[in-house]
Amino acid sequence: MARRFHFWTRAFILPVLIVVLATAFVVVAGGSTVVAQEPRDSAPSDEDLGPPAEVEVVSQGRVANLAPRPPLTEAQRQEWAGRLRRLYATAPEVWPAAVVDSSVTPVELGLLPEMPFPADNPYTPEKAELGKLLFFDPRLSGSGQIACATCHDPELGWGDNRSTSFGHDRQPLRRNAPSLLNVGHAKTLFWDGRAESLEAQALAVLVNRDEMRGDPEAIERAVEGVPEYRQRFQRVFGDVEVGFDEIAKALATYERTIVGERSPFDAFLKGRQEALSDSALIGLHLFRTQAGCMNCHHGPAFTDDAFHEMGLSNYGRRMEDLGRYRVSRDPADVGRFKTPSLRSVTSTKPYMHNGLFPLLGVLSMYNAGMPTRRPNPAQMEDPMFPRKSPLLKPLFLNDQDIDDLVAFLESLEEPLQRIRVAVP
């Protein structure tokens, strides 16, 4: 019973508590009053693309109204969904303009482009098949028990559905395992962006003492000791000897073939209007406008490939994670983490770099503007104290809005993949 309570504390009660505290801070700091809202008289107009009209900002930065905007009646929702179907029946480039912060230049949502392959590691089917075998082979780990697929399982959205993964000798790692779906489109890899290519990412994980703890020479010997691998390496690389760099190239080539293009949203983009329910369509519009999601999650991959401080670094506390700072050593990067793709997001729970939150918990925190930590007296002059992204602000969405956003995010989910590999 104690373990079950601890789980719900982390997965549900904690995010709710953060939301309550964050919202309370906004109310106190803004000196605002909550005013009850009258129901809408009609559905939103076609021009209703900006922030909710119910949020009125008055002089001295005081917010006159912090109440969520009123929900629509069922008749109003049907009318609104009909208007949105007309607006979104066109190509994405002529959709209503996205509503983002003035500092953001969004890239419109759309179908993923063809996967790029680097000039020094071009695609061949034989190389991808070799990489696939290696991806599922635990010989690449120091223990002989961990494969790449251990933390990136195709049946679990190419993650592992754990808060944080287990590494060498079953020790818990510090960060959540990101999904590898469409990973070949990413500009940098890992939550802190420390790898600039999939080849570098593969090498880093193989030799990391906390993760796979492999020794390059031992891995080469283990792979070369398998006749089928020797034959495949010779066909792919023209060299009988198995090299560590070639292993990384084969793994990276396979990972670039892990792509998704069969979600309901992709079908909608290809002209199947019925692929999105009314709720998902309303959620799409919210995503692009009032909810502010496209400040960070834009483009075909639903990510800006940038780093943001979300108020979750636990700076100065037991679970501190300085994020991007560990790579850049720039104090401005303390607590910043890479924006993950939202494609197939509903199959890659739990969420955030520490994997502590369920989907509704994350949406509730975003709705409240995420937690804002204030420095204590000893931290007032601390140049390392993290500063939350200015893109994060209270959204004043109601429960109906949250449900519609969830419906849209569910439309990004790919069909379940079951991959069976006979490792030689």
Q: Are 266 and 284 in contact (CB under 8 A)?
A: no
**Residue 153 has what DSSP assignment?**
B
| Phi and psi, residue 327, nearest 5° | -100, -50
Q: Calculate ∠ Cα 164-170-173, nearest 5°.
A: 30
Q: Which two tokens stand for residue 110?
A: 């759309």
Pick the catalytic residue: 54, 56, 108, 211? 211
- Best CA proximity match to 293, nearest among 405, 181, 179: 405
Q: Tell me which amino acid residue 79 is.
A: E
As a dihedral over the C-alpha atoms of residue 287, residue 289, residue 294, residue 299, rounded to 10 degrees, the angle is: 80
Q: How far is CA 125 from the centre of its chain?
A: 29
Alpha-carbon distance of 108 to 97, in angstroms, equals 9
Residue 241 appears among annotated catalytic residues:
no
Alpha-carbon distance of 251 to 132, in angstroms, equals 7
Please provide the size of the chain in residues: 424
Q: Are 421 and 228 in contact (CB under 8 A)?
A: no
- Best CA proximity match to 290, nearest among 116, 55, 107: 55
| Crossing angle for the helix pair 359-367 and 14-30, to the nearest 10 degrees | 0
Encode burial over 316-331: b for 16+ CB neighbours within 10 A, e otherwise: eeeeebbbbbebbeee
Q: Are 201 and 190 in contact (CB under 8 A)?
A: yes
The residue assigned the tokens 């420390």 is 194
Q: Are 308 and 193 in contact (CB under 8 A)?
A: no
Q: How far is CA 274 from the centre of its chain?
A: 26
**Helix or strand (DSSP H, E) at 315:** none
Q: Which residues are catalytic?
A: 211
